[in-house]
Amino acid sequence: KIRGLRIELGEIQARLGEFPQILEATVLAREDVPGDKRLVAYYTGVPAATDELRAHLLEQLPEFMVPQVFVHLEAFPLSPNGKLDRKALPAPDMAALRSREYEAPQGDTEIALARLWAELLNVERVGRHDNFFELGGHSLLAVSLIGRLRQDGIDANVKALFEQPTLWEYAEITERMEMVL
């Protein structure tokens, strides 16, 4: 279980294994930071863009079962008896969370959202193409984000964040919701 939700690691692995470029896949629930358990997918084969892998899994799985981090490996570490050595799988680094080059936020809304995302997600900086969920966001943090935005007088909703998870997309839709008011 992660954040009270039952996660089927085998189901995630099976769906990830269906992606054309992937040879082998395994998924772990890692707690590299105390109190912050997250799904990490490891795979071998041709490296793929994180957003492509997320999109593939979101077609078949609920958001809470889609890993936040995807780590490409040349080969899986094996134990002396030839089985996958899960304990030898590397902890993901922050580079694994970023699938795109950094581009600074533009405009007041993007800048304000970037500050809030960085605080909530405990990351140093958020670029305009960064994805809330790839940076470690999940449904509970999304609800916290919406609450904070509403406290600041910004009309926002969770559904829009799931549909437009990059900073610039979410800023754009948030600005449009403000104009309607």
What is the per-residue pLDDT for 155? 81
Predicted confidence (pLDDT) per residue in 148-175, tens digit: 998 988 888 888 888 888 899 999 988 8
Task: List pLDDT tens digits, range 65-93.
Answer: 888 889 999 999 999 999 999 999 998 87
**CATH for 107-180, among 1.10.3720.10, 3.40.50.740, 1.10.10.10, 1.10.1200.10?**
1.10.1200.10
Which is the CATH superfamily of the domain at 9-97? ANL, C-terminal domain (3.30.300.30)
Helices (DSSP H) in the chain: which residue ranges?
A: 9-17, 50-58, 94-97, 107-121, 139-151, 158-163, 167-180
Its sign, for the CA torsion 32, 33, 35, 39, is: negative
Domain assignments of the chain as residue spans, ordered by start: 9-97, 107-180
Segment 1-28 mean pLDDT: 88
